[in-house]
Amino acid sequence: MIGHHSYDNIAECIDKVLNEFNIQNKTTLVVTDNAANFVKAFRVFSNENETETDHTVNEIDATETVETNIDPTNIEIIELTDVLESQDIEKSLAFSLPPHQRCAAHTLNLIAVNDIREAEKDVTYRLMSKRVFGKCQKLFNKQNQSTLCADQIKKYLGRYLITPNATRWNSYYDAIKCVVNHIEKIEMICIELQLPIISKPREVAFLNEYCKVMKPIAQALDILQGDKHVSLGYLLPTISVINKSLNEMNNLSFCRPLVNALKKGTDKR
């Protein structure tokens, strides 16, 4: 897209593509991520809203019939939002979009990244997670910022650590899992690089619990973001397995608030 990625420009762009390929009346569903501009584009311009829009337009047309004798003491104040909404209606008459479906994989990623912050309302979990993840982040930073440190890490592990990447889903889980898998050598690396050591047994137990709780979400994301052998029929069974796995999480000393946050996020979304 060239220009501002506003909801109306997005709607117009999608409509042009559908018309260019002559699939306007053949498209049953359009899948996008959860960004607000996409959501608004389909809320305003979706052909599912045509009946509602026609009704609103008729109401606007009816108000255009006014009497010639106007009482200056009885002037209606029109809100700016009403004017903008009427402009949206006028635009929507030019074209309409098919029904909208938010990407299930992106929704699940939002649960794994945003909704888990609910767990930090528990003071014990918040303090433990900030301390342990802070130590892990210092290790990731050392590898990313210094080639000498990266070489030291590779010398001990035979590989580089996986480090979090905001644009790659599951990257934080993968990074922590990598640390857990090499936890014995991580202690020597921390000493070598003069970093705080991830202490045993509490902090190591916390990391193990975190990976245990997040594993079903990570596996589900890998399934739903696949581009081969995946369809809408995968969604409900996958969500069902996530709920079953979370409900069966027992004997947790640190990450019970994380389980509750994931269950609450899944229900909400």
Rounded-to-integer distance, Cα 249 and Cα 53, Å: 48
What percent of the chain has a predicted confidence (pLDDT) above 90?
71
**Are 40 and 97 in contact, with CB atoms under 8 Å apart?**
no
- Confidence (pTM): 0.77
* Residues in the chain, overall count: 269
* pLDDT tens-digit series, residues 6-16: 999 999 999 99
What torsion do the CA atoms of 18, 22, 26, 31 make, to the nearest 10 degrees? -20
Among 83, 78, 89, which residue's Cα sits nearest to residue 52? 89
What percent of the chain has a predicted confidence (pLDDT) above 70?
83
- 89-103, 161-175, 251-265: which is most confident: 251-265
Strands (E), 38-177: 100-102
* pLDDT tens-digit series, residues 125-180: 999 999 999 999 999 999 999 999 999 999 999 999 999 988 888 999 999 999 99
